[in-house]
């Protein structure tokens, strides 16, 4: 087996090519930058910024493009800035941290424009300038960290002659490596007490001999940790344990309870499955409530361990205000909120509508939505659970009324073709399409183009330092 691996490695090495003095000309999909090989083929680079001039070592060769790494920088781009995070370049979480924020916004806006034009082939109005985030760091309200008994070693550690004794890690997966965890000192995505809690848990676990998880061997006590925070100061911490060791589990949880009295909700999960997902697991409440609350415009939203809630609370508020503005409600409309999640948008627009109907496939999310509506004393919203393509049909519309406005906020894959067909059949005067993937949004808009024109487009940056961008489109029925 070792001989075979060596042979494969040698073959890969021989296939690699070096290109010199490559000008980086653009930013592409998934946070990659773009250069051109001498034969005209595109090179996707993971560690360069448009405007750099670099030497490139290719890592993959395809018929139409290469993938590679910049190995030497002849000229640094004026678009560059100094990354603030010590883990940048190894951790894959903030791939654009070396690009100044105004340039991040430029490329995000252009991605939306290109996708709507090239994929959608749409006639567009003037696209409004992207709504940037006031916070470029410490903006996330939810982070998930993984434990590992065999942490990722940096190149410096590997090359040093020092014996590495502490191999435990509490941090993030190395991109593309399911079993490799980078130990994190300071993460600039979630405000304190997040870093303090994570580092304190790691230190306490090591000092008390609590074992870290090994995914290959499927052994160890500590598996994952999730931290959620809200704008009103509530904190949720959930520790996922692999081994059912009550004494060790309570030792750690009691430490957290005493060390961090600001924790509102202290939870744990026992998970001995092959994967880390908790959605099919029982969540146990060790101390405090089994949920936390977020507030927005006087509305109160309950968030439990399995709830979906936009991970940038302040920008979510901007996103929802744009959605409500695009809907243009006057109080007499029947509004359908497709892919409603926990009903945040539905409740946010409800005071301006006659009735709002929310539909979602996740039963727990719908239960949260109903409970939030009761908490907020909102009586003109109704929530229904089921697969969108099966629930949203003529019979459903006949029962609940013809929609005047449809708001749709689907997952990254966009809407199912049957949902698009039903929208065309229902033909509401307005559709407000909120998307986290403008490529699939453009595909869906092209299908709707026979009956709808794009009236307004507003990109929104929810995730600074990354290539991700949200987009809101108002569709108006053609006359």
Annotated catalytic residues are 436
- What is the distance between the alpha carbons of residues 202 and 246, in angstroms, rounded to a whole number? 19
- What is the distance between the alpha carbons of residues 16 and 6, in angstroms, rounded to a whole number? 16
Sheet architecture: strand order including 430-435: 381-385, 355-360, 334-338, 405-408, 430-435, 470-477, 452-460
β partners of residue 143:
227
Sheet architecture: strand order including 284-288: 181-183, 169-173, 142-148, 222-229, 235-241, 265-270, 284-288
Decide: 201 and 170 in contact? Cβ < 8 Å.
yes
**Three-state secondary structure call for residue 181:** strand
Decide: 67 and 42 in contact? Cβ < 8 Å.
no
- Tokens representing 216 are 């290959």
Q: Residue 363's CB: how many other CB atoms inside 10 A? A: 10
**Three-state secondary structure call for residue 316:** helix
Pairing of strands 169-173, 65-75: unpaired
148-164 burial, b at 16+ Cβ within 10 Å, e below that, comes to bbbbbbeeeeeeeeeee
- What is the distance between the alpha carbons of residues 416 and 276, in angstroms, rounded to a whole number? 28
């Amino acid at each position: 087996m070792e001989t075979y691996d060596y042979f494969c490695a040698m073959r890969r090495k021989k296939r690699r090519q070096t290109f010199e003095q490559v000008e980086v000309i653009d930013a592409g999909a998934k946070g990659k930058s773009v250069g051109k090989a001498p034969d005209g083929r595109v090179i996707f680079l993971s560690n360069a910024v448009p405007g750099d001039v670099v030497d490139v070592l290719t890592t993959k060769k395809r018929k139409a493009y290469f993938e590679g790494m910049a190995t030497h920088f002849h000229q640094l781009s004026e678009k560059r800035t100094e990354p603030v995070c010590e883990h940048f370049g190894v951790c894959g979480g903030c791939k654009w941290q070396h690009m100044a924020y105004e340039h991040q916004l430029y490329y995000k806006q252009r991605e939306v424009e290109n996708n709507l034009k090239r994929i959608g082939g749409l006639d567009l109005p003037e696209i409004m300038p992207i709504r940037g985030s006031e916070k470029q760091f410490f903006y996330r309200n939810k982070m998930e960290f993984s434990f590992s008994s065999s942490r990722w070693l940096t190149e410096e550690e590997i090359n040093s002659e020092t014996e590495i004794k502490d191999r435990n890690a509490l941090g993030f997966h190395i991109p593309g490596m399911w079993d490799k965890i980078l130990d994190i000192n300071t993460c600039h995505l979630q405000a304190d007490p997040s870093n303090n809690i994570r580092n304190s848990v790691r230190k306490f676990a090591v000092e008390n001999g609590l074992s870290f998880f090994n995914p290959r061997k499927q052994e160890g006590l500590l598996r994952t940790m999730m931290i959620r925070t809200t704008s009103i100061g509530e904190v949720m911490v959930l520790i996922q344990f692999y081994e059912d060791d009550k004494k060790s589990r309570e030792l750690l949880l009691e430490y957290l309870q005493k060390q961090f009295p600001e924790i509102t909700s202290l939870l744990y999960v026992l998970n001995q499955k092959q994967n880390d997902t908790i959605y099919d697991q029982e969540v146990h409440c060790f101390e405090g409530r089994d949920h936390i609350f977020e507030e927005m415009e006087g509305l109160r939203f309950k968030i439990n361990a399995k709830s979906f809630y936009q991970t940038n609370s302040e920008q979510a508020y901007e996103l929802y205000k744009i959605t409500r503005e695009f809907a243009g409600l006057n109080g007499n409309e029947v509004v359908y909120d497709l892919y409603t999640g926990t009903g945040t948008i539905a409740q946010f627009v409800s005071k301006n509508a006659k009735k709002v109907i929310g539909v979602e496939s996740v039963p727990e999310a719908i239960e949260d939505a109903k409970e939030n509506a009761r908490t907020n004393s909102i009586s003109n919203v109704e929530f229904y659970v089921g697969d969108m393509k099966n629930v949203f049909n003529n019979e459903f519309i006949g029962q609940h009324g013809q929609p005047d406005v449809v708001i749709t906020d689907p997952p990254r894959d966009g809407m199912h073709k049957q949902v698009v067909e039903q929208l065309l059949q229902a033909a509401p005067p307005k559709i407000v399409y909120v998307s986290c993937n403008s490529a699939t949004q453009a595909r869906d808009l092209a299908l709707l183009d026979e009956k709808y024109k794009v009236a307004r487009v507003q990109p929104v940056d929810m995730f600074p330092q990354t290539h991700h961008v949200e987009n809101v489109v108002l569709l108006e029925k053609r006359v």
